[in-house]
Structure 1
């Protein structure tokens, strides 16, 4: 059986959306549909129930996805290790990041790593709210620089690297625009953009995209977003608000959106990897990042 069809099946089982699965796999929606159709024909069972509005998994699909994840992950890792065998570098470390990622640390981090570990090549992979944790579990990246708390089981985090004040992103015509600082209770009644909790984890989603103020006054659920730039577009269109770090505010400055600091706990970031992954290259990257962050007076 074609392993690609199994990878397509797993991607669709997580995204539950043909378009998003196709985007994640860098293939067309029609190709995703064809892979799934062939797999279902081979098994003689439907793995998904499809309507014009939604995609859900059948009981057979859920069982198959549960049993395939670890074996497919192991095959991916084995193939990557085999590919590395003929290269001059000893290893390639795939490093995921969300949004602005390492910000001002990119250049010193890459330079320090190249000096200390010339045999390990770094590949940076941009992730989104959907994938910042799942990409690690699936072996698509070896390690990722994530916003805490860790959202999914099976992962562990290194020391906190960045701890930044939280800002709320609002349209320039918003009632809070122009303020330097607000109390979180002033957000009551606002529309908060959302992310898919099934992919980011409920705890993570509630921390970064809450639907209530600290005193439990409700926030209206807004449109679903999967990237920071989708969030910015929604704010500019007047569809809601969401939180970023104060550091990110400089990176994502745009004429129709402004940032207001809010008295909520900070947004912290750290490296995250699969629990039990004791590769020396991961530990070394973590040490180098912490050293570079301390030298930059960040950590």
Structure 2
């Protein structure tokens, strides 16, 4: 199977032999044996080129996901047998995975008792910076994340959004608000290298109809955001969990009737997919599956 897939990728017996660390005659023998077993040619061979037959292309497309799954299963089994050791640094933004966080951590520690877990809070002024700098190995952060060097894994938390307003704001007399209502007050910008699309998703610049939303002071921490809202300097969309974990008497939270949900997912550097990171991602997937899906508020 591996020889066939590598040859289907390289289309060259010599390069295939080099990748597999086999002799070229051994690769040819293996492919001929596979073709005899199937009963038809998988490659068209000439002195100048090698190409897949239609049957060969079909077999490649069918085998590729199966082979990847098999390889991943073997990697996980090997990592479990050897044990995952060292230190895993987990970054989290806000409440992280919410109520699912302890389940993920407990599952990871139970499987890999030899690995120490360290947790570090990140801030929305630079949500991806600690990951890129190598200060954390894996991150529980709000989406969207569309960065070419980062991989987005399972969603572990999904929740509606609410509008945080000063306790005496006129919106507190309403049962709900819409995104169009944001144009009636001031929201906040953010300092730091947070991706522009990331902040614009959470605190948009325009309403759905295209009306501009006034932007006030730039902020760098969540506590600063809450302090400015309480002082009457503006309003801000936030995740619904904020009302539970950061409730205070000088701020009210009004449900949105049309804002999209906000999700938290596991994110890591694509080039740094270590055994520890893979084990943590698997623990997150297992927790989500046993929970019947991402945690919902």
Counterpart mapping for 1:120-135 below 5 A: 120-135=115-130
**Counterpart in the other structure of 2:86:** 91
**Counterpart in the other structure of 2:19:** none
**Counterpart in the other structure of 2:215:** 221
Cα drift, residue 107 of structure 1: 2.5
Cα drift, residue 150 of structure 1: 1.1
**Counterpart in the other structure of 1:174:** 169
Structure 1 residue runs without a partner (length 5+): 1-87
**Counterpart in the other structure of 1:187:** 182
Contact 2:97 2:156 in 1 (8 A): no
Instruction: Give the TM-score, by structure 2 length.
Output: 0.67
Q: Secondary structure at the match of 1:114?
A: helix
Q: Which structure would you say has the larger Rg?
A: 2
State the alpha-carbon separation in 2 of the partners of residues 107 and 148 from structure 1: 21
Q: RMSD value over aligned CA atoms?
A: 1.9
Contact 2:104 2:287 in 1 (8 A): yes
Contact 1:189 1:218 in 2 (8 A): no
Instruction: Give the TM-score, by structure 1 length.
Output: 0.66
Of 103, 112, 124 in structure 1, the residue corresponding to residue 107 of structure 2 is 112
Cα drift, residue 193 of structure 1: 1.2
Contact 2:183 2:207 in 1 (8 A): yes
Cα drift, residue 265 of structure 1: 1.1
Contact 1:249 1:259 in 2 (8 A): yes
Contact 1:93 1:122 in 2 (8 A): yes
State the alpha-carbon separation in 1 of the partners of residues 227 and 285 from structure 2: 33
State the alpha-carbon separation in 2 of the partners of residues 89 and 269 from structure 1: 25
Structure with higher RCO (Cα < 8 A, 6+ apart):
2
Cα drift, residue 232 of structure 1: 0.7
Q: Secondary structure at the match of 2:170?
A: coil
Q: Structure 2 vs 1, CA of residues 283 and 210 (structure 1 numbering), >3 Å: closer, same or farther?
A: same
State the alpha-carbon separation in 1 of the partners of residues 146 and 193 from structure 2: 8
Q: Can you list the C-alpha shifts for 1:58-83, whole angstroms capped at 9, x where unaligned?
A: xxxxxxxxxxxxxxxxxxxxxxxxxx
Contact 1:96 1:132 in 2 (8 A): no
Question: Across the two proteins, how many residue pairs are aligned to each other?
Answer: 211
